[in-house]
Structure 1
Amino acid sequence: MLLARLTEAAGVSGQEGEIRNVIRDEIRGKCDEVRTDALGNLIAFKRGLRDGPRVMLAAHMDEVGLMVTYIEKSGVLRFQKVGSIDDRVLVSKAVLIGKDRVPGVIGSKPIHLQERDEQEKPFKTEQLFIDIGATSKEDAEKLVKRGDGAVFATKYMEIGNSCSKAKAFDDRVGCAVLIKVLEETYEFPLYVVFTVQEEVGARGAGVAAYGIKPDIALVFEGTTASDVPETKPHGYCTTLGRGPALTHMDRSVIANKAIVRRLEEVAEREGIPFQYRRTGVGGTDAGRIHLQREGIPTAVVSVPARYIHSPVSIINRDDFENTRRLAVSFLRSIQERGLPR
C-alpha cells in the first residue's frame, strides 16, 4: 500500500535519500521529467496539453528524527533531535539508525535507580542514549557513525474506523496526495515538488520555488489534530474525519485569499467535506515559497493527523481521499476558469 511504503521509509531532514528513492519509483511513468536539485528536492514535471500558467504543488519528504552525535566508551550513542520532538515521547522507543537500519532502543536511567526529584521531572535529551547492543565504542563503530540519522521503528497499520497509524504522516500523507495527483492529465504545466528539510526551516521549498518560478503554489501538509480528551474544542486545530483543512494563517504565511476562496468553491461544488485550521501555530513550506522572487500566491491544504512529531500518529483515510479529490478538482478549475484572482 502506498501509505505504508511512504511512512515506513526513512527520511530524517537532510538525509532524505531513502524516501526520495521510494517516491521516484512511485512516480515513474506518471510525469514527463523527474530531477533532483542540489539541495535534494525531487521535482516532477508534467508538460500539459497546452501552454498555460505554471502551477507548483509541494509536500515535504523529510520527517523529524534523531542524529547520532557521539559514541560513548560503553557503546551507547548520544544524539540530538532533528526537528521538533517532545522529549517526553522518546524514552524506551525503538529506532532504526543509518542506511543499514541498525536497530536500537532509546534508554535512560532506570526508575528504581532514580532519586525522588528525578522521578518528578521528564528526562531531557542529553540524559538519554540509544542502546544498539554494542559492548564498546569500537563495537558500535562497526555498525554506526556520527552523523547517522535515526527514525522511529513504527510499522504502518490500519486501525479502527477508516483510520491508520504510522510514523511520519507529517508529511508522507501529503506526498501520497501528490503521487495520486500525478496520475491525472492536465492542460497546463504542472510542477510537483517533494521537498527536503522542511522540519528544520523549510529550506528545500524556497530553493525549489526560486528555480521553478511558479505563477501559483499550493502546499499539502499533515497537520495537528488535537481532537482528544483534555483539549477544548476551540483548540482542536483540526478534527479527524471532517475532511482536508484549509489554512487562513499560521506563523509562516497568510494564505492567498483568492486561492482559499477557489478551494472553498470547488469543495462545495464537488461535495467534498472540508474544515479550517483553527489555530495559527506552526509553519509550512508555504512560508518560504510565497516570499520567492517578486512573491508567489500560495495556500495550504492539510490532512489532519493526531500526535504528529512523535513515534506514531493517526489519520483518517477518508480525509486523505478527500484531500486528493480537492487537489484534482482545484487543478481542473484552473483549466476551466484560469488562476484564482
Structure 2
Amino acid sequence: MKNLDETLTMLKDLTDAKGIPGNEREAREVMKKYIAPFADEVATDGLGSLIAKKVGLDNGPKIMVAGHLDEVGFMVTQIDDKGFIRFQTVGGWWSQVMLAQRVTIVTKKGDVTGVIGSKPPHILSPEARKKPVDIKDMFVDIGASSKEEVLAWGVKPGDQIVPYFEFTVLNNEKMLLAKAWDNRIGCAIAIDVLKRLRNANHPNVVYGVGTVQEEVGLRGAKTSAHSIKPDIAFAVDVGVAGDTPGVSEKEAQGKMGDGPQIILYDASMVSHKGLRDLVTDTADELRIPYQFDSIAGGGTDSGAIHLTANGVPALSITIATRYIHSHAAMLHRDDYENAVKLIAEVIKRLDRETVEKITFD
C-alpha cells in the first residue's frame, strides 16, 4: 500500500471499521477518536449517534453537520445442519454485486471470515443461468461442516455480516477505493469541518454528528436532531456518479472530480432554497467547484432532520461515488476536500441574523 498521509489514514480507519445498522460501535469509536480533539464535548445519544459539539459563541445558532456511521451489510438469521449460514440484507443490496464476495461475521469470540455462495452455474439449466440469483437463494460459507462447528466458532443469529474490502489508493492517487464510503465519507467531512473551524472566529455552535441506522430509515438522524434542535443542518453523504460507460446524463449527471453535489430534491426532502442559495453563492465567491443533482428514488438524513420540532432549513451535500452499496466504491479526493472547505466557509458566514433571514425571508 502507498504511504498514507494524515487524511488518508483517517479515511482508511473509518472505512475499514465494521458497522451495519444497529452495530455502529466500532465506527463510532473511530469517529470519536478523530473528532474529539476539535470538540468541546462529545456525547452519544440513546440510539448510538455520536454528537460532537464545538462552541464559537454560546448563544449562537446551532449548525448540524451530519454523516451516517452505518454501512449496508447483512445479519445472520439461520444456521443449517451442514454449517451454511442464511442471512438478511440490512440496507439496500442489488443481488448481482453480492455473489462470491468475501465477508466478515462479527461475533463475541472474534471475527469469522466467509464468502457469499449459491448453487453453481454449471448445474443450472440454460434458462436459469440467464437470470440473476435471488438473494433468498444465497448463503454464507465459512468453511464449517456442521451447525455445531459454526456455533462453536461463536456465530449465532443476530450477528452482523460486513463486506470485506481493504482501503486502496489507486494509481491516480486522487481516486480512492474502499467499502463503506456510504457513509464514512460523510463522517470524515463532519470531522474535518470541525478541524477546519478549530481556530476560526464565528458566532455559532457547530455539531459534528455521526448518525446511526440511516440505511434502514434515517433513525439516528431523528434522535440526534431531536437532541440538538439545530437551526441549520447539512447532511453529507454519497451521491451517484454518472460518469461510467452506459450511463446517460438523463440517468445520472454527477461526475467525480467536479466538486460536491448540491442536492436540489430527493424522495425525502425538497432542499431549502435560502440555504442552498447561500451555499452556492459562497462557492461562487471562493471559486469552489460544485454540481447540482437530484435523487428521485432515495434520500439522506436531511429528510428526517428538516422535520425536527417546528422545521429546520436543511441541505444535502453529497460526493459523487461509483459503485455504492457494494463491496468496493470509488470517489475522488478533491470532491471530499472541496466539500469540507465549502461547508466550513458557509458556517463562517452564518450568524443569528443570517439564519433568521434564511429561515423567514
- Counterpart of 1:139 in structure 2 is 149
**Quick one: structure 1 residues 244 and 316, their matched pair in 2 at CA, closer, same or farther if it must change by over 3 Å?**
same
- 3-state secondary structure, aligned to 2:26: helix
Per-residue CA deviations over 1:18-55 (Å, capped at 9, x if unaligned) read 10111111122211111111101111111224431111
Once structures 1 and 2 are overlaid, which stretch shifts more, 99-108 or 330-339?
Answer: 330-339
Q: Structure 1 regions of 5+ residues with no counterpart?
A: none
The alignment status of 1:19 with 2:64, answered yes or no, reads no
Aligned residue number for residue 118 of structure 2? 108
Deviation string, structure 1 residues 140-191 (Cα, Å, up to 9, x no partner): 0122110111111101111143101111111111111111111123432111
Question: Matched residues in 2 for 1:156 and 1:133: separation?
Answer: 26
| Shift, 1:130, TM fit | 0.4
Alignment of 1:251-270 (within 5 A): 251-270=267-286
Task: For residue 338 of structure 1, report the CA deviation from its aligned partner.
Answer: 2.8
Matching residue within 2, 8, 25 for 2:10: 2
**8 A Cα contact 2:265 2:294, kept in partner:** no
Q: How many aligned residue pairs are there?
A: 341
The 2-side partners of 1:233 and 1:227 are apart by: 9
Q: Which moved more, 1:172-181 or 1:270-279?
A: 270-279
Residue 101 of structure 1 and its aligned partner are, at CA, apart by 2.4
1:184-241 Cα offsets, whole Å, 9 max, x none, are 2343211121000000000110111112111111111111112211111222241111
- Secondary structure at the aligned position of 2:14 is classed as helix
Match of 2:292 among 264, 267, 276: 276
Query: Aligned partners of 1:81 and 1:197: how far apart in 2?
Result: 13
Give the letter aligned to residue 151 of structure 1: V
Query: 1:235–1:279: 8 Å Cα contact kept in structure 2?
Result: no
Q: Residue in 2 aligned with 1:127?
A: 137
Residue number in structure 2 paired with 1:48: 56
Residue 291 of structure 1 aligns to a residue whose secondary structure is coil
Moved over 3 A (4+): none
What letter matches 1:154 in structure 2?
F
Partner AA of 1:228 in structure 2: T
Moved more, 43-52 or 142-151: 43-52
Determine if the alignment matches structure 1 residue 312 to structure 2 residue 328. Answer: yes
Kindly indicate whether residue 238 of structure 2 is the aligned counterpart of residue 238 of structure 1: no
* SS class of match (1:29): helix
Q: Is the 8 A contact 1:234 1:278 kept in 2?
A: no
Check conservation: 2:67, 2:235, Cα contact below 8 A.
yes
TM-score of the superposed pair, with normalisation by structure 1? 0.97
Letter in 1 for 2:194: L
Q: What residue number does 2:4 align with?
A: none
SS of 1:284's equivalent in the other structure is coil
Distance 1:196 1:50 in 2: 27
Partner residue, 1:33: 41
CA RMSD of aligned residues (A): 1.4
Correspondence list, 1:1-341, <5 A: 1-99=9-107, 100-143=110-153, 144-161=155-172, 162-183=174-195, 184-185=197-198, 186-335=202-351, 338-339=354-355, 341=358
Q: Higher mean Cα deviation, 83-92 or 185-194? A: 185-194
1:278, distance to aligned residue in structure 2 (A): 4.3
Identity %: 40
Q: TM-score, normalised by structure 2?
A: 0.92
Q: Distance in 2 between matches of 1:296 and 1:279?
A: 20
Q: Counterparts of 2:310 and 2:59 in 1: how far apart (Å)? A: 22
SS in 1 for 2:303: helix
The unaligned stretches of length 5 or more in structure 2 are: 1-8
Separation in 1 of the partners of 2:102 and 2:129?
Answer: 22
Tell me the distance in 1 between the aligned counterparts of 2:302 and 2:30: 24
CA contact (8 A) 2:67 2:237 kept: yes
Report the AA paired with residue 112 of structure 2: V
Separation in 1, partners of 2:256, 2:49: 30
* Native 8 Å contact 1:84 1:309 kept in 2: yes
CA contact (8 A) 2:263 2:293 kept: yes
